[in-house]
A and B are shown apart, each in its own frame.
Chain A
Amino acid sequence: MTLNEQEIRKIAEEAVRQLGKDATEEKIEQVVREAAERVAREEPGAVSRQTTPINQTHNRIIITAFGRNRIGILAGLTAILAEHQCDILDLSQKILQEFFTIMLLVDISNCNMSFEEIKQEVVRRGEDLDLKVIVQHEDIFNAMHRI
């Protein structure tokens, strides 16, 4: 935040004047945004951007699945990951009575889908297999369980 309200208003007013009858809401916003970004670049110290102290590994996700054990659940989940170029880095599983828990650590750097899309796909496949599936970025676990 390097420009104050009055300056932004002045830029907007100037933009409206210069654009004349071409002034649409989108155009004005674009001009003001560009001006603000230029100012921010010229004064690098002015933008108070804090770096996050917590380790960022944005391309690793953890998939946890719960449900009754039956043939093909692990195959079903991993097939969809392979289909979208997701790399399984680690896998653990546990059976408590008939209840099955699967944990997959997955690298999605080369995935051909966004996080949201692959999350939806995996959750949907889980539903077909009667599994409750939770997909989360790995960072949250590092934040909570590591000093």
Chain B
Amino acid sequence: MPISLEEILETIRMTEVEHFDIRTVTMGISLLDCRSDDLQRLKTNIYDKVTRIAAEHVKMARKVESAYGISIANKRLAVTPLAIAAEGFYKEDYIEIARVLDKAADELGIDYLGGFSALVQKGFTPGDRQLIQAIPEALASTEHICSSVNVASTKAGMNMEAIRMMGEIVKETARATADRDAIGCAKLVVFANVPEDNPFIAGAFHGVSEPDVVVNVGISGPGVVLRAVREAEEDLDFSALADRIRAMAFKITRAGIFIGHEVARLQNVPFGIVDISLAPTPLQGDSVADILKAMGLEDVGATGTTAALALLNDSVKRGGLMASSHVGGLSGAFIPVSEDAGMIEAVKKGHISIEKLEAMTSVCSVGLDMVAIPGKTPAEVIAGMIADEAAIGITNNKTTAVRAIPVPGKDVGDSVDYGGLLGEAPIMPVSQLSNNIFIRRGGRFPAPTRGANN
């Protein structure tokens, strides 16, 4: 059946008016064969491999953009978690490696490179500890590097020492980048149940079970889903509403997988997965919050918001799973505050709180994402936020994460503007009650019973 004029016009409306784009085409590169006990050698190996494998990544992505008329917002790289690929080094060495990767990313024209990461849900290796201590300076002295630490999983439970440590690391990262409103914290995410093939920054890394090189793709498209929901009459019931979202999710996922396959094919690299997370941008009309409002809420934060998000998330998954056999990564709606114009508005009006965002985590992917909090917030409070999110994650067998920004010198009522895709973050109030004894208990928080599912 030939493509009709209406179908062509719909596609063009999606890309030209509704901001539909491919959020990211992320090339994952294994660094496991770069290992060496000599730091200089290791750095050379890493630099050589990354610049050789990804030499054409940006160029090919641009070619595909031009051929199909769909823009690819970000061209990114993900590497093996450095704590694994470069085990056995010291804090200063990891900072040097981060700078080498940053240089490679810069020369390749890459937006962000993820993988300054450690997986410590059950405990630390010496390299894990050293790498985690290196995070603040690594992020402060690089442009493109992103960091993530997995502190909990349904199988392992929660590493409470790591959670306490990450509270401090987030604070330190904020201090190290205080001159830029703590932008380092926007590039640091603390996970529970982290996926190994996530193409989205800041949590992207190339898992150890992945092939040597792979291309993963992350879609975007709140704008087109928003239109589908806005066009719905007020008395349209939930089954019909879900159907509309599902149909739209199918189309954007098919576009995403097609673009991803093309970028992979042109570089003779296998295609991995499509991540069907609905990712907003600060542009007007590209907001997840606006979709929830269009379902019939006065604003996000109203009672019913969590249910609305659950419907959105599930409908997107149904459409996405029909469109592709290889759905992976996070694949759940994102609700980052600063990156979503509707969320920013709701925070400014006092309509949505950190507590409500935490509740919404239970039905989407990353919970407390790009949340700016008062600079005076103690490390233990941030650790408590991480522990709460991780508990939701491991108990419900899902990914959760915290990307909190304690902005030095700023308090509730202030706002920070990072520009670009990171957007504007109004400082949100968070409970400053003490949890010191709880957080400092340390040890391993037992895995939930549902982890024992064999």
Q: What's the Cα separation between A53 and B4 when bound, in Å?
A: 22
Task: Give the nearest-CB partner of A141 in chain B.
Answer: B3
A residues near B101, Cβ cutoff 8 Å: none
A64 and B33 in contact, given A134-B69, A144-B254, A146-B1 (Cβ under 8 angstroms): no
Does B450 belong to the interface (CB within 8 Å)?
no
A48 and B261 in contact, given A4-B33, A92-B5, A140-B70 (Cβ under 8 angstroms): no
Contact B254 A143 (CB under 8 A): yes
Which residue in A54, A101, A116, A144 is a CB contact (below 8 Å) of B11? A144
Does B268 belong to the interface (CB within 8 Å)?
yes
Task: Give the nearest-CB partner of B53 in chain A.
Answer: A1
Does B2 belong to the interface (CB within 8 Å)?
yes
Task: Pick 8 A–B contacts, CB within 8 A, sort by A.
Answer: A48-B211, A50-B265, A54-B257, A101-B9, A139-B258, A140-B259, A141-B3, A145-B7
Q: List A33-88 residues whose CB lies under 8 Å from chain B.
A: 47-50, 52-54, 62, 64
Chain A residues in contact with chain B, CB under 8 A? 1, 4-6, 8-9, 47-50, 52-54, 62, 64, 90, 92, 94, 101, 103, 105, 115-116, 119, 134-146
Contact A145 B67 (CB under 8 A): no
Task: Give the nearest-CB partner of A53 in chain B.
Answer: B261
Q: What's the Cα separation between A52 and B213 when bound, in Å?
A: 17
- Shortest CB distance A26–B (Å): 14
Contact A139 B68 (CB under 8 A): yes
Q: What's the Cα separation between A92 and B255 when bound, in Å?
A: 23
Write the B9-50 contact mask toward A (1 if CB under 8 angstroms, else 0): 111100010000000000000000110000000000100110
A135 and B69 in contact, given A48-B211, A145-B251 (Cβ under 8 angstroms): yes
Does B345 belong to the interface (CB within 8 Å)?
no
Task: Give the nearest-CB partner of A5 in chain B.
Answer: B33
- Shortest CB distance B350–A (Å): 40
Given contacts A142-B3, A144-B252, A145-B11, 5 further A-B contacts (CB under 8 A): A8-B52, A9-B45, A134-B16, A134-B69, A135-B69
A residues near B251, Cβ cutoff 8 Å: 144-145
Contact A137 B49 (CB under 8 A): no
Q: What's the Cα separation between A103 and B254 when bound, in Å?
A: 22
Q: List B181-240 residues whose CB lies under 8 Å from chain A.
A: 211-213
- Shortest CB distance B3–A (Å): 4
Q: Most B CB atoms within 10 A — which of A5, A9, A92, A142?
A: A5
Which residue in A50, A90, A139, A145 is a CB contact (below 8 Å) of B270? A50
A49 and B33 in contact, given A116-B66, A140-B255 (Cβ under 8 angstroms): no
Q: What's the Cα separation between A4 and B35 when bound, in Å?
A: 12
Q: Most A CB atoms within 10 A — which of B33, B52, B269?
A: B33
Q: Which 3 pairs show the lowest CB-CB distances between chains A and B?
A: A143-B258, A136-B69, A140-B68
- Shortest CB distance A78–B (Å): 17
Which residue in A8, A64, A137 is a CB contact (below 8 Å) of B8? A64
Task: Give the nearest-CB partner of B70 in chain A.
Answer: A140
Does B271 belong to the interface (CB within 8 Å)?
yes
B residues near A53, Cβ cutoff 8 Å: 261
B residues near A143, Cβ cutoff 8 Å: 254-255, 257-258
Chain B residues in contact with chain A, CB under 8 A? 1-5, 7-12, 16, 33-34, 45, 48-49, 52, 66-70, 211-213, 251-252, 254-255, 257-259, 261-262, 264-265, 268-271
Q: What's the Cα separation between A4 and B8 when bound, in Å?
A: 44
B residues near A141, Cβ cutoff 8 Å: 3, 7-8, 11
A residues near B270, Cβ cutoff 8 Å: 48-50
Which residue in A6, A90, A137 is a CB contact (below 8 Å) of B68? A137
A50 and B271 in contact, given A134-B12, A142-B3 (Cβ under 8 angstroms): yes
Contact B69 A140 (CB under 8 A): yes
- Shortest CB distance B219–A (Å): 12
Q: What's the Cα separation between A90 and B3 when bound, in Å?
A: 10
A49 and B268 in contact, given A5-B33, A90-B2, A141-B3 (Cβ under 8 angstroms): yes
Q: What's the Cα separation between A94 and B4 when bound, in Å?
A: 12
Contact A52 B261 (CB under 8 A): yes
Q: What's the Cα separation between A121 and B426 when bound, in Å?
A: 47
Q: What's the Cα separation between A62 and B7 when bound, in Å?
A: 12
Q: What's the Cα separation between A144 and B254 when bound, in Å?
A: 5
Which residue in A5, A64, A119, A139 is a CB contact (below 8 Å) of B34? A5
Q: What's the Cα separation between A12 and B105 when bound, in Å?
A: 23
A residues near B259, Cβ cutoff 8 Å: 140
Task: Give the nearest-CB partner of B10 in chain A.
Answer: A145
Task: Give the nearest-CB partner of B252 in chain A.
Answer: A144
Contact B258 A140 (CB under 8 A): yes
Which residue in B7, B33, B252, B268 is a CB contact (below 8 Å) of A47? B268
Contact A54 B261 (CB under 8 A): yes
B residues near A136, Cβ cutoff 8 Å: 67-69
A residues near B66, Cβ cutoff 8 Å: 116, 119
Which residue in A54, A62, A90, A116 is a CB contact (below 8 Å) of B258? A54
